[in-house]
Amino acid sequence: MSVTTFKRARSAEQRAERQRAILATAAAMLTEMPVADLSLNELSRRVGLAKSNVLNYFDSREAVLLELSSSELTAWVKDLDATVGDALPELTIRDRTEQLISAVVGTLAERPVLCDLISAQAGVLERNISTETALAFKRAAMQSFEQMIEAVVGVLPELGRDGAGQFIATASLLAGAIWSHSHPVPAILAAYEADPALAAIRLEFEPALTEALRTLLYGALPRR
């Protein structure tokens, strides 16, 4: 693809159009490859801009991916809220806990790109960015965090807002870590296939996250 596809953006709308094109191209690439394999060179080639031109719109590859992460997170929160709904008064606390766990795990499993981005966030995506990019990302994350608290408290009011916030923060870390370990590189997959005895330490995302969240939530709920 030619790197002269786009003319120089001269207006705010043209600049926004270029940014949308870059983000859309990166999003499409993440359906084909993990975050670790998405390079700025390939992104530039596919979007039809020189790498230096892409950097006119985003600080870095990481800034592009952080923007995508914010969009994915916003969409996932809507999914989660729609899935959990409001707590039914006739359900026991155990039933509502399982309802919440099922909703979190199920909606995350349907968004592999988000899970991959979460797993790379602190170690990769939050590096090589400007303070301005960091502020925009963290402010968007805070807004999603508040919406997640509302969703969790709606199902388990026993947690309270503080407990719901602690659950969400820890659940995010668990989801990222479990996703990373349950989607290993080819060499590790080959090792698992070569030695069936290693099956005991191989993680599957949904069951592993389900058990981790179950332990977390039952430990956080008030004892009665």
Residue boundaries of the structural domains of the chain: 1-57, 60-220
The pLDDT assigned to 86 comes to: 66
Per CATH, the architecture of 1-57 is what?
Orthogonal Bundle (1.10)
Distance CA 104, CA 213 (A): 9
Residue 84 CB neighbours (<10 A): 20
- Residue pair 168/148 in contact (Cβ under 8 Å)? The answer is yes
> What number does CATH give the domain 60-220?
1.10.357.10
Given the structure tokens 């502020």, which residue do they identify? 135
Tens of pLDDT along 38-81?
Answer: 999 999 999 999 999 999 999 999 999 999 999 999 999 999 99
Distances (CA, A) of 62 to 9, 40, 42, 172, 203: 22, 9, 14, 19, 27
pLDDT (0 to 100) of residue 73 = 96
* Sites in the chain below the pLDDT cut of 50: 1-4
Instruction: Say what the pTM is.
Output: 0.87
Helix ranges (H only) for the chain are 12-30, 40-47, 51-54, 61-84, 93-109, 112-120, 131-155, 160-182, 186-194, 205-220
Domains 1-57 and 60-220 share a fold: no
The phi, psi pair for 4, rounded to 5°, reads -110, 20
